Structure 1
Amino acid sequence: MLNYIFVFFIVVSFVAYFYYKTRQFRSTLPIRKKWYKAKAGVALGLFIMVFGLNTCIIYPTLVGFMIAAVFILVGFMEAFASYKRVRHEGQFVKEEYELNK
């Protein structure tokens, strides 16, 4: 049952990643492009983390846990760094929109 929950979150984060990447490519304002890129990075980091957690369930061996630990660590670092960028660039998105009306 837990495996299905992880698969659901894997699919949702993968869809969110492609949604924000599409928004990034379609945006014309530079700060908004960076903001969408950072949001896509958060979704990608969550995807990698949940994939690592799912690996723990599928392969409950020492090697499986080591690989999962790498995925979880890399995913966490990507999600955290991207979240900090989202917060920083989010301050300027509204200002940029008002300047370019």
Structure 2
Amino acid sequence: MAFTILIVFSAVFFFFYKIKHWRSKAPVEKRWLQTKANMALGSFLVAFGLNLLVYTRGTIDIVIGSIFTLLGLANVILGYKAYRHYLPQVIAEAEQATKNA
């Protein structure tokens, strides 16, 4: 049940950040929001993969669950690195936008 809740929340956050990404005008902020969406997608894959591993019905569930978990972990880790990379740039872009406004 806990994995199901995490799957739903991850999917909701993914769509939330994707919509914010599409609506954003600032280029660096768009990349920053994309990394947040990638992390949410990664957490979705991890939760879905762990759900398959915990509630296995056969060998295919174990293989697919392992693949989803590994891909999700890669998405979360690389997304977090990109998030940290873009964060100072987003702050500088926001400060520049407030100065110009």
TM-score by length of 1: 0.91
Deviating beyond 3 angstroms after TM superposition, the runs of 4 or more aligned structure 1 residues are none
Counterpart of 1:66? 63
1:44 aligns with 2:41: yes
Counterpart of 2:14? 17
1:35 aligns with 2:32: yes
For 1:41, the aligned partner's letter is N
Q: Which runs of 5+ in 1 are unaligned?
A: none
Write out per-residue CA displacement over residues 61-94 of structure 1, whole angstroms, 9 at most, x where no aligned residue.
3332111111101111111111111110011111
Identity %, equivalent residues: 35
Partner of 1:28, secondary structure, is coil
Pairs aligned (count): 98
TM-score by length of 2: 0.91
Q: What do you get for the CA RMSD once the two structures are aligned?
A: 1.1
